[in-house]
Structure 1
Amino acid sequence: MQSLLVRRFFIVLSRRVTVKDIIKQFHLEIICSKHALNHTVTVTDLYRPGLELAGFFNHYPVERLQLLGRTELAFMQSLPSAMKEERFKRICQPELPCICVTRGLPVPEELIQAAQENNVPLLRTSMPTTRFASKLTNYLEKRLAPTTTIHGVLVDVHGVGVLILGDSGIGKSETALELVKRGHLLIADDAVEITQLEEDMLEGSAPELIRYLLEIRGLGIINIMTLFGAGAVRDKKKISLVIRLESWQEKRQYDRLGLDEERMKIVDTELPLLTVPVRPGRNLAVIIEVAAMNYRLKVMGYDAAKQFVQKLSETIEEADDIE
C-alpha cells in the first residue's frame, strides 16, 4: 500500500476553497466576472458591509466573503446615484474573494460595473441572508479546518476512537484485523487524515483511495467491508486516545500503575498517549480493548490507579497508627 501513498507524518496541510467550489456547493448564480472564479477564500468569517456602505472604511476586512442582503441594498437605493457608484467602487476591492447578493434580489448596475472593473466575482442566491450565512460558515469551517495525515491505524473500540501508532511492521494492521473480528470498527489503515473541527476535537478518516482497505503482510490488501460487512467499518470518528506500539526494551522502565499520563499533540490538540510494548505472547487486541474501556471509566470519573494508590496510602497510615 505504500506504493499507493505519499506518506506524510505530522505535516499540516494547507487547505483552500475557491469561489468555484462555493458556487458548485450552493448552486449560486454568476452575475459577472466569470473569469475570476479561482479567487480563494482563506477565512471562515463572512462580512456584511453595512458601515462601509455608509462611508466608513477604516477597518474594512477585504479578505472575507461579502454578503449583501435586503437591508444593505435597500439602504443603497436611498442614496444618490453618484454616491452609490463611489461606495460600490470602494467595496469592490481587487483582494475580495467575491460578493454574494442574497434573497434573489435585483443587483444594482453600479455594483455590477464596479465588480467587473476590479475582477470581483459577483454571485446571487435565493436563500435568505441569515440562512445562507449559516450554511456557508459551516461549509467553510469544515473545508478550511487544519488537517494532517499520520501513518497509523484508526479504530472505533467500544465507542472510543483509538489511534494506533508504531514503526512499520510492528503489527498495527494485524491488531486492527483482530479488533474487527472481535466486533469493533475500522476507520483507516496506513494513513489517517486528521481534521481539527474545533478546539480540542480531532476527527479521523481514511483517504478515499484506501477507504475500508487493510494491508496484511503476507496476505496483501483486503477489503474489510466486503469481508465483514458494512457494520465493521465507518467513515470517520472522533479521536480520543492514542496508543503507541513499540518493541519491548528490556532496560526501559514501563509504567506499571498507570499514573504517568503522557500526552501527544496533534495539530493544536493534546490527546492521552499510552505506550504498549510488543513482544511474543502479548494479545494486543485485548490490551487495546481494555485501554479503551479504562479510558471511558476515567471520563466517567473512576481512575483505578488513583484508587489503588489512595487505598495503599490509607493502609500504610493505618499500619503506622497501630505501631
Structure 2
Amino acid sequence: MKTITVKRLTEAFQLEVLAGADRMDRVISRPRTHRPGLEFVGYFDFFPMERVQVLGRKEINYLLTLTVEERLLHIGNVVKYHPPCFIVTSGQQEIPYLTLFCDQEGIPLLRTSETTTEFIAKLDGYLLKALAPELSIHGVCVNVSGIGILLRGKSGIGKSETAHTLIRRGHRFVADDIVVLKKLGPSTLLGTHNVTAREFLALRSVGLINVVRQYGRRAFQDETRIVLDIELSPWQENALNNELEVIPQFTEYLGVQIPHIEIQLQPGRDVAGLIEAAANNWYLKQHGYSAVDEFMKRVEDGMQQ
C-alpha cells in the first residue's frame, strides 16, 4: 500500500503548522478526506479514522456552542483515535483547545486559508493520485486530439520517432522510455512521466531533446488518461487483418483493460497518421458511431433497391 507523510502534504499545500510539528512523519494511506461532524456529536459507528480530518466552519462553530467541559469531552473522543492529522480551513482562529489536544496526543494540526469546499476538492484529487497503485513500463505516452495513447514495442522499433511526428502535427507529448501508469479507479488509468525525464524525448541519431524548449508549452502535458494501447511491431507478410472490423483485443494494466491495437511498420507507412485514425475511430465509437455498421446498412439498402 502506498503512503505519503503529513510533511509532504503540508509542503504540497503550503499549510500552516499549529501543533504536532515533531510528528510530521505520520503517514497517510487513504485517498479521501473526512469531516468529523457526526463524531463530534458522539456517533462513531462508521468513523474513518485513517483519513485526513478536515474541520470547516460548521464543525468549529458547533464546538464553540458547547460548554468547556462538553467541548473537551467531544474533542477528546475524536482525537483518541489518532487520525493522521487535522486540517482547519478558512483560516479559522478560535481553536486553542484543538491545539492543546493535538500537542498532547502528537497529532499534526494544520491550517489553510482556503474555503472548505475548494480545499477538500483539491486535497481529494491530490491524495487520489499520490496514493494510487502504480506501474512503470517501457514505452511512450502521447495525447492525440485529447485521447491518451500508450505506444509500446521493442527497443529501436520507432516509438519515440513516431511520438516526435505526432508532436510536429500538433499533438502532445507526455512521457518517453519510462511511462508511469496510475490506477485512479476501476476503469481509469492515468499515464505520466517519472519526473526525472519530464519533457525529454530521446531520438536515435539525434539525441535527447527538450520538447517544451523546441516546440513550446502546448506540445507537452504532465498526464493523460490512457484509453488506447498501441503496439508497434515489425512488418510481416500476410499477417495484417484486412477484414471490415478487427476483433477487439485488450491489454490489462493494474486490473484495468485497455483496447489494444497492433500497427506493423514498413517503409512508407504513415504510422502517425494511422495512430490519429485509431484515436478518432475510438472517439467515434464512444459516441455510438460505427463505420462498419453504416457501411453494412448501405449495402443492405443497395440490395433492397
- Residue 50 (1) aligns with residue 51 (2): no
Aligned residue for 2:136, secondary structure, equals strand
TM-score (norm 1): 0.78
Which entry has the higher C-alpha Rg, 1 or 2? Answer: 1
- Structure 1: which 4+ aligned runs deviate by more than 6 Å? none
Task: Give the aligned CA root-mean-square deviation in angstroms.
Answer: 3.1
Aligned residue for 1:221, secondary structure, equals strand
User: Which residue in the other structure is 2:139 paired with?
Assistant: 152
User: Which residue in the other structure is 2:94 paired with?
Assistant: 106
What 5-or-longer segments of structure 1 have no aligned partner? 1-13
2: CA distance, partners of 1:92 / 1:73: 15
What 5-or-longer segments of structure 2 have no aligned partner? none
1: CA distance, partners of 2:41 / 2:142: 55
User: Which residue in the other structure is 1:290 paired with?
Assistant: 277
Q: Map Cα deviations across residues 54-104 of structure 1 (whole Å, 9 max, x no partner).
A: 233333321122233444344434545444333333211364101223341
Q: Partner letter of residue 105 of structure 1?
A: Q
- Range 165-174 or range 151-160, more displaced: 151-160
Q: How many aligned residue pairs are there? A: 304
The partner residue of 2:122 within 135, 142, 146 is 135
- Structure 1 segment 54-73 matched on structure 2, within 5 A: 54-73=41-60
Q: Map Cα deviations across residues 189-247 of structure 1 (whole Å, 9 max, x no partner).
A: 21222334556443433333222322223333233334444454343333332211123
- Residue 220 (1) aligns with residue 185 (2): no
Change (3 A) 1:216 1:79: closer
Q: Map Cα deviations across residues 133-156 of structure 1 (whole Å, 9 max, x no partner).
A: 333333323433443332111223
Q: Percent identity?
A: 36
* 1:62–1:93 CA contact under 8 A, matched in 2: no
Please state how far the C-alpha of 1:314 moved relative to its aligned partner. Answer: 6.5
Change (3 A) 1:311 1:123: same
2: CA distance, partners of 1:156 / 1:187: 7
User: Which residue in the other structure is 1:8 paired with?
Assistant: none
User: Which residue in the other structure is 2:106 paired with?
Assistant: 119
The partner residue of 1:254 within 203, 220, 241 is 241
Aligned residue for 2:196, secondary structure, equals helix
2: CA distance, partners of 1:280 / 1:170: 12
- Residue 87 (1) aligns with residue 74 (2): yes
User: Which residue in the other structure is 1:7 paired with?
Assistant: none
Change (3 A) 1:229 1:312: same
- Residue 264 (1) aligns with residue 233 (2): no
Change (3 A) 1:125 1:223: closer
- Range 190-199 or range 93-102, more displaced: 190-199
Change (3 A) 1:310 1:126: closer
The partner residue of 2:13 within 26, 39, 64 is 26
2: CA distance, partners of 1:212 / 1:310: 46
Please state how far the C-alpha of 1:287 moved relative to its aligned partner. Answer: 2.3
2: CA distance, partners of 1:224 / 1:67: 40
1: CA distance, partners of 2:220 / 2:64: 56
Change (3 A) 1:251 1:127: closer
Aligned residue for 1:210, secondary structure, equals coil
2: CA distance, partners of 1:34 / 1:137: 23
Q: Partner letter of residue 106 of structure 1?
A: E
- Residue 205 (1) aligns with residue 157 (2): no
User: Which residue in the other structure is 2:4 paired with?
Assistant: 17
Please state how far the C-alpha of 1:21 moved relative to its aligned partner. Answer: 2.6
Q: Map Cα deviations across residues 91-127 of structure 1 (whole Å, 9 max, x no partner).
A: 1136410122334132243x43432332111223344
Change (3 A) 1:219 1:135: closer
Please state how far the C-alpha of 1:269 moved relative to its aligned partner. Answer: 3.6
Please state how far the C-alpha of 1:34 moved relative to its aligned partner. Answer: 0.8
1: CA distance, partners of 2:47 / 2:38: 9
Q: Partner letter of residue 223 of structure 1?
A: N
The partner residue of 1:189 within 176, 188, 200 is 176
